[in-house]
A and B are shown apart, each in its own frame.
Chain A
């Protein structure tokens, strides 16, 4: 079946530090890949996505590249801010008979200190 594995957290960084959150997946075919972010007390919102191999998704200074050879979609940001403190979820959509169902990783808590 399909699965997503994220690096274990929590991750604690100082402001302006470099961020990497690892995400690897298992899926048949060619899934679409997503990063969702959940700010405290809120629902999930889409951060970025990539639909085919070698695509790079980017938004708000965050980037992730769809690497089919390593089945990975790692999230990076060059300089984090306190406002980036949130839970980050990697997810995949396998298409086919899924009726839009997403498979999520377990989430990574990021805390950024001033």
Chain B
């Protein structure tokens, strides 16, 4: 599982509900990422964290918040879910030095979210 645990695996929400997606990695990497995957659009970066205590916006941050709780954990929160947030969400991690990626990114199994 590439050293990544994501919970839950599946979730159905009603419009306006909130939820938090959890991610934890056990490879001691400093950088972590949240992506969403939509048909025909590949993966798009929502937020990333280059180190514990820092987070920054990616390509599609609107409607989301994140918390880098410690080096292992990086959570994604939807405060008021919308149908446009129906997607598959992937957490990833990688080793970086400064702003350079060393090696590859490792991906979790994903959370399939449906907002009705």
Bound CA–CA A100/B33 (angstroms): 9
Contact between chains at B4 and A89 (CB < 8 Å): no
Bound CA–CA A83/B92 (angstroms): 25
Contact between chains at A43 and B99 (CB < 8 Å): no
Q: Distance (Å) between the CB of B96 and the closest chain A CB?
A: 5
Bound CA–CA A107/B36 (angstroms): 13
Contact between chains at B110 and A98 (CB < 8 Å): no
Bound CA–CA A45/B26 (angstroms): 17
Interface-lining segment among B12-20, B37-45, B62-70, B71-79? B37-45
Bound CA–CA A49/B103 (angstroms): 9
Q: Do A44 and B101 form a contact, CB below 8 Å, given A89-B43, A101-B45, A106-B41?
A: no
Q: Mark A39-73, 1 if CB is under 8 A from B, else 0.
A: 00111111001000000000000000000000000
Q: Distance (Å) between the CB of A8 and the closest chain B CB?
A: 9
How many A-B contacts are there with CB distance less than 8 Å? 67
In chain B, residues 82-98, which have Cβ atoms closer than 8 Å to a Cβ of chain A? 90, 92, 94, 96
Contact residues on A (Cβ < 8 Å of other chain), bracket: 20 to 34
Contact between chains at B94 and A100 (CB < 8 Å): yes
Q: B90 — nearest CB in chain A belongs to which residue?
A: A43
Q: Mark B93-116, 1 if CB is under 8 A from A, else 0.
A: 010100111001101111000000
Q: Distance (Å) between the CB of A58 and the closest chain B CB?
A: 15
Contact between chains at A106 and B48 (CB < 8 Å): no
Contact between chains at B50 and A99 (CB < 8 Å): yes
Contact between chains at B42 and A104 (CB < 8 Å): yes
B31 part of interface (Cβ distance < 8 Å)? yes
Contact between chains at B104 and A46 (CB < 8 Å): yes
A100 partner residues in chain B, CB cutoff 8 A: 31, 33, 48, 50, 94, 96, 99-101, 105
Contact between chains at B2 and A99 (CB < 8 Å): no
Contact between chains at A101 and B33 (CB < 8 Å): yes
